[in-house]
Amino acid sequence: MSQAWSRKEMGKSIRTFIGILICLILALVLVINITLIVRSYVNPEEVPSFMGYKPFIVLSGSMAPEIMLGDLIITKTVDPEEIAVGDIISFRTRETIVVSHRVTEVRTEDGLAFLTKGDANTGADLGAVRPEDVEGKYIFRIAGLGRLAMFLQTPLGLLVFVVIPLCLFILYDVLSRRVRGKRERSREAELEAELEALRAAMAARESEGGGKENGA
């Protein structure tokens, strides 16, 4: 019985741990999303970032197959001096559009500048990229997550994928705690009843023993 009880308790602990982990992940996603949305409204001319990391949604196939259309890429703000040939950087163009292409040459004459090219493009990009135009260095990508990320940045997406699941988890946790509390109280009541019955039985035996001795 003790072994079965320990397994049951272990199962509860695992479920609780998984639930807390999911809650923390959802809370983190919520914080990141709110931070990016607020910063995009406060500084509409700047790309919002979270602790130096910036997400970008890929809207073209110019970097295929390294980066595909619809991917979500993460870049990190770095010192322009650290950028080398072969790195993929995200930078602003004259049209204030952010492009992510590979560095093909680093120039130092007349100041630091980078020549870039999309892996899938036949020709190099027009003009050099200045350090002040660099938004960050490519770190990694999450395939196909760009479309979902765009939806998550909308109020409806935030509600459907973050707020509602978080509220449901909190509600489930509250209800499960109440159910466990009722079971524990019921178990305690049963133990108390058993203990009282045991005490009554022992008192009855003592009373019977005392009566026999008096009779003798």
Percent pLDDT > 90 in the chain is: 31
Q: Please state the pTM of the whole predicted model.
A: 0.58
CA torsion angle for 54, 74, 146, 125 (degrees, to 10)? Answer: 90
Residue 22: name the closest of 168, 176, 174 by CA: 168
Instruction: Judge whether residue 164 has pLDDT over 90.
Output: no
In this structure, what DSSP letter does residue 91 have?
E
DSSP β-bridge partners for residue 91: 99, 134
Instruction: Judge whether residue 213 has pLDDT over 70.
Output: no
What is the reported pLDDT for 1?
Answer: 45
* Amino acid at the residue 146: G
Residue ranges per structural domain of the chain: 47-153
Q: Which residue has the higher pLDDT, 44 or 35?
A: 35
Instruction: Judge whether residue 84 has pLDDT over 90.
Output: yes
Mean pLDDT of 197-213: 70
Percent pLDDT > 70 in the chain is: 83
Cα gap 88→178, rounded to integer Å: 53
For the domain covering 47-153, report its CATH number.
Answer: 2.10.109.10
**Which band of pLDDT confidence, cut at 50, 70 and 90, is reported for residue 139?**
very high
Mean pLDDT of 102-107: 96
